[in-house]
Structure formats: C-alpha cells, structure tokens
C-alpha cells in the first residue's frame, strides 16, 4: 500500500463505543431502532437520546447509511450503516456491503468529519464470511481515500483476535 494511504488507515482491537472520533459506524438493521451486537452496545453507551433521534429517520435500506448525534458517546456522531444478511453470496451481498462503506464515508465528508471508525459490518449476526468482508472493507476505504483528502483517519475496530488478525493480513496484502 502507498505510504500516505497506509498512514490514514489503522486497525485496533476493542470496543468501538470507547473511541473519541468524529464518527463511529454502527452495524445497524433496517429499522435503525437498535438490536444486539455492536448496535446494542452503541445504543447502551449513547443513552436514550439516540433511539429517539433514530425513530425520526424512519429506517434505512440495506447498503445505505444515516447519521445522528453521538449523545453520551465520546464520538460526536454515529453513522448507522445497514449491512446485508449473508445468504450464500448470490444475493448482491458484496455490493451491498461495499455500499455501507462508501455511503458512510460519503456522509462523513458531507458532514466535514475527519476521523471515522468502522466495526466489521455484517460479520457477526449477519454471518458474512469474515475475510471476504474484510477485503471489501479495505478495498472500499482505500478507493475512497485515494479520491478524497478531507478524511484524515479511518479506524477498523476489531472485536476478537480472529477479526484483528484477518484485517492485519488483508491490509498487509493490499
């Protein structure tokens, strides 16, 4: 990877709700009203103001994203991206997952945000194969950052050793 691009992409381990960045991305569902996994953790840490704002958004289609405030989170905003459920790979899952990254980054730029953290969208409850998802995530972020100077840092937040190692490997090969 080009050095300047590599400097703008980071992989960390841990809980995304602890990060003090301009926006953390949520792996949401189409209702945007909360759920389990990282979605549940974000809503718990943000407090009830988050779901109140989400209610006004009237959901979000798969592959797209919507932005809210961060409420009690250290992050200023939450970008709620809706990943696809894995149905074997022949239901446009790859393009929909790519859309989550593209549309989240687009929202970040439109809102003048400079630092953004992503979880491994769709790789938990939605069962998207991890390495395949990591390749899509890395490719979309790299392609976007090559075209855009305003975003300073993208952090991939991995929850668990397996996810961490997979992202490290995919980034090393990119």
Chain contacts with ligand AR6 (rule: CB under 6 A): 15-17, 27-29, 35-39, 41, 83, 119-126, 157, 159-160, 163
Radius of gyration of the chain from its Cα atoms, rounded to whole angstroms: 15
Buried b (16+ CB within 10 A) or exposed e, 147-167: eeeebeebbbbbbeeebbebb
E strand or H helix at 78, and its extent? strand 77-82
Active centre residues (catalytic): 39
- Shortest reach from residue 136's CB to ligand AR6, in Å: 13
Closest to ligand AR6 by CB, 2 or 30: 30
Closest to ligand AR6 by CB, 73 or 145: 73
- Among residues 147, 102, 98, 105, the alpha carbon closest in space to that of 122 is found at 98
Distance from C-alpha of 117 to C-alpha of 16, rounded to nearest angstrom = 7
Closest to ligand AR6 by CB, 35 or 59: 35
- Shortest reach from residue 114's CB to ligand AR6, in Å: 20
Closest to ligand AR6 by CB, 161 or 173: 161
E strand or H helix at 7, and its extent? helix 3-7
Helix axes 37-46, 48-57, angle to 10 degrees: 120
- Shortest reach from residue 116's CB to ligand AR6, in Å: 14
- Shortest reach from residue 6's CB to ligand AR6, in Å: 22
């Amino acid at each position: 990877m080009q050095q300047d691009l590599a400097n703008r992409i980071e992989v960390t381990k841990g809980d995304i709700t602890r990060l003090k960045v301009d926006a953390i991305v949520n792996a949401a569902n189409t209702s945007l009203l909360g759920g389990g996994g990282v979605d549940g953790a974000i809503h718990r840490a943000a407090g009830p103001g988050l779901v109140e704002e989400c209610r006004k958004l009237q959901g979000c289609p798969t592959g797209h994203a919507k932005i809210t405030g961060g409420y009690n989170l250290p992050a200023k905003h939450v970008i709620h991206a809706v990943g696809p459920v894995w149905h074997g790979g022949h239901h446009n899952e790859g393009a929909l997952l790519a859309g989550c990254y593209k549309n989240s980054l687009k929202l970040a730029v439109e809102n003048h945000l400079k630092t953004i953290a992503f979880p491994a969208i769709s790789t938990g409850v939605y069962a998207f194969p991890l390495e395949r998802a990591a390749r899509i995530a890395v490719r979309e972020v790299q392609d976007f950052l090559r075209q855009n100077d305003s975003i300073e840092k993208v952090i991939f937040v991995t929850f668990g050793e397996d996810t961490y190692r997979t992202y490290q490997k995919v980034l090393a090969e990119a």
